[in-house]
Structures are given as structure tokens and as C-alpha cells.
Amino acid sequence: MDTVSTLPHVNAALNAVTTVLLVIGLTMARAGRADVHRPVMVAALVTSALFLVFYVVYHLTAPIFVFAGQGWVRPAYYAMLISHVILAAVVTPMIAVTAWRGMRGTIERHRPLARWTMPIWLYVSVTGVVIYVMLYHLYAPVP
């Protein structure tokens, strides 16, 4: 597998799947369907973990890819990228603790943290897809 040309697309797909799973999981939690919420959130956790592994592999093997957009979109891209990276670092341990509490059944401790974790995790997964589209499709450098 050519990681440089393949993994960005795989990672974007994993982020997109994570986003869908998070929305389904949130919907099921709000509907009181813990029986569906739990496996959906485990699936979101697995897709995010796969993303993280592939992201690290990609960045260990690929050259730096410079954003080619110009004008107003350039600072907008970098503002989104910076917020995405910072929040991804912040939310990773939050996800682990939230999942741990949910799996252990300590819902009274799970729910308050999940109220913060879910929107941040959603933001990170959605902006991951947007960053991918901007970097590899909308503003990709012309060879």
C-alpha cells in the first residue's frame, strides 16, 4: 500500500464514519436507547482509534503537504487546522475517560463529561473531513 497517496483518503473516510456514528450515538442517548447507544459509541471509538493509528503512520512516512489555497481561505484554513489539532489533543483523554465511565456503568459520572466530550469530538471529526477536502480536493497543488 502506498501510504502517501492512500492514507489521507482512508483517514477522511474514518473521520466521516466517526461523525455519522457520533450523531447516531447522541440520538440514541437522547432517546434513552442505551442498548443502541453503547455499541454505536464503541464503533465510533474504534473508528477514531484506527484513524489515530493511520494518521501517525501517514505522518511518519509522508512528506509535508503544504496548503495551496490563497487569499481569505488561507487564514481560515489555518485557524480551523489549529483549532482542530488543539481540540483533538484535548478530547482524546476526554474520550477515554468518558468511554471508561460509560462501560463501567457509572452513568452519573459519564453523562456530565459526555456533555463536553461529544461536541468537541464531533467538531474534531467534522473539521477533519473539511480539512481533508480543502487540502486534497479544493486547493490541492497542481502538479
Instruction: Give the number of residues written for the chain.
Output: 143
Tell me whether residue 87 is in a domain.
yes
CATH of the domain at 38: 1.20.120.80
Tell me whether residue 130 is in a domain.
yes
- Structural contact between residues 91 and 121, judged by C-beta atoms closer than 8 angstroms: yes
Angle ∠(109,113,116) on CA atoms, nearest 5 = 160
Q: Is the pTM of this model over 0.85?
A: yes
Tell me whether residue 95 is in a domain.
yes
pLDDT of res. 65: 79
Tell me whether residue 143 is in a domain.
no
* Least confident stretch, 30-34, 50-54, 59-63: 59-63
Q: Which of 49, 35, 19 is nearest to 102 (CA)?
A: 35
Q: Which of 9, 113, 86 is nearest to 51 (CA)?
A: 9
Domain hosting 39: range is 3-138
pLDDT of res. 16: 98
- Structural contact between residues 5 and 140, judged by C-beta atoms closer than 8 angstroms: no
Q: Which of 108, 107, 91 is nearest to 18 (CA)?
A: 91
User: Is pLDDT above 80 for 86?
Assistant: yes
pLDDT of res. 62: 85
Tell me whether residue 70 is in a domain.
yes
Tell me whether residue 22 is in a domain.
yes
Environment class of 125 (CB within 10 Å of its CB; exposed 0-12, middle 13-18, buried 19+) = buried
Give the chain's domain count: 1
Query: How far is 64 from 106, CA to CA, in rounded Å?
Result: 43
Query: How far is 26 from 119, CA to CA, in rounded Å?
Result: 10
- Structural contact between residues 127 and 83, judged by C-beta atoms closer than 8 angstroms: yes
